Amino acid sequence: MSDDSMGKGFAELLDASFKDHKNLEPGQKVKAVVVSIGKEWIFLDLGSKSEGYLAKKEVVDEAGDLTVQIGDSIEAYFLSAEKNGMLFTTSLSGGQAVLAHLDEAYNNRIPVEGFVTKEIKGGFEVKIGGSIRGFCPYSQIDIRRAEKAEEYVDQHLTFLITEYSGKNIVLSRRRILEEEKRQKKEKLQETLKVGDTVKGKITSVRDFGAFVDIEGIEGLIPVSEISWGRVEDVHAVLHTGQEVEVAVLKLDWEKDRYSFSLKETLPDPWETSASKYVEGSIHTGRISRLTNFGAFVNLEPGIDGLLHISQLAGGRKINHPREVVQQGQDIEVKVSGLDVDAKRISLSFAAVDSSQGDEEKQGDDYKKYIAKTKGAKLEGKGMGTLGDLLKAKLGENKK
């Protein structure tokens, strides 16, 4: 083969490669593989015999260490076709780069790096390239409302230019975050399903539950799904920024509604209830709720038993449990029945021995107890338990 033919073949390949370059539009996002790392430049393989390069300083961390290595796949934005090849950027940074390509960045949605210098009226002042002043409104600094502006000041962040006319530059970080969220959502749709256990981070806490971010989607952990026990104050259990492991309860991709459960990842206390709450066993619990038909007694987080109204007055008729006990009161109870499948426990007072068979005497004792202890407090212990008071009373009768 002659030198001319060899030269012609190389020229054709080079021309074909250049045509591939011309297919890209400024601002177009591509995936490329790092094939070489030089002193100032990173060289990329774009496939289809196309190559490109980007500034090495774009892929180093704060300590100056490279964050990529040969063989890594990265995403970059096409900037322009130069004499030496195709120029790419992960985002525009550096004074000269921004000045030279500011118009391209605006027209082609190429991200720019900015430094948030201070909070000003309506938003934040952002310096681009060290000298170009931009403005980012409060609503555009994050996906969620910026409640603490100081968290963004003195931060290097990435923005899109949404308005560009002369010296008037308006920026948005929110649009970049929304696009990242959309891409993450698409990936999650392919793998995430109801019943999966995943890790996430609490983004906000409310009285009705807590919101958690799961790799780009945000959903609710209802207050009923936080613990097996009753949660009075969500803020006492969870806080913003806390990392949690949750089970997926519901996924509505179209309406962007997702719900998760924290308690489903915790041991179910009812699994060990059969061995712990055997019939006749005695336990101390706290009255968690009063109803017309009785009092619910919390024995441990997630397990409540029912002390029926018929068990409350020792044979005497009462109109409501509040005539005998109070919510929040500690009492001693005996297990009179257990249904693990239905998650039900029936209780009676531990201090009242129903085997005495003398219901009238039992009623008299209870009537005296009510008269004597109504509103009484045990020194140093707050409200005494019914078990303690009844035991004391029964002890007096024996004397």
Average pLDDT over residues 196-213: 92
The predicted pLDDT at position 235 comes to: 92
Please check the confidence at residue 28 and state whether its pLDDT lies above 80.
no
82 close to 101: Cβ distance less than 8 angstroms: no
Kindly indicate the confidence band of residue 48, based on its pLDDT and cuts at 50, 70 and 90.
low
Residue 249 has a pLDDT of: 94
CB 124 within 8 A of CB 154: no
Q: In this model, does residue 112 exceed pLDDT 70?
A: yes
Domains of the chain, CATH where assigned:
14-90 (2.40.50.140), 98-177 (2.40.50.140), 192-265 (2.40.50.140), 279-398 (2.40.50.140)
The more confident residue out of 63 and 171 is 171
**Better pLDDT: 85 or 249:** 249
Q: CA angle, corner 363, sides to 359 and 364, nearest 5?
A: 120
What are the DSSP E strand ranges found in 238-281? 243-252, 257-261
Q: Each residue of 275-315: pLDDT tens digit?
A: 888 888 889 888 988 998 888 998 888 888 898 888 887 66
**pLDDT at position 349:** 83
Taking the CA atoms of residue 81, residue 83, residue 88 and residue 91 in that order, the dihedral angle to the nearest 10 degrees is -90
| Cα–Cα distance measured from residue 17 to residue 58, given in angstroms and rounded to the nearest whole number | 25
**φ and ψ of 283, to 5 deg:** -140, 155
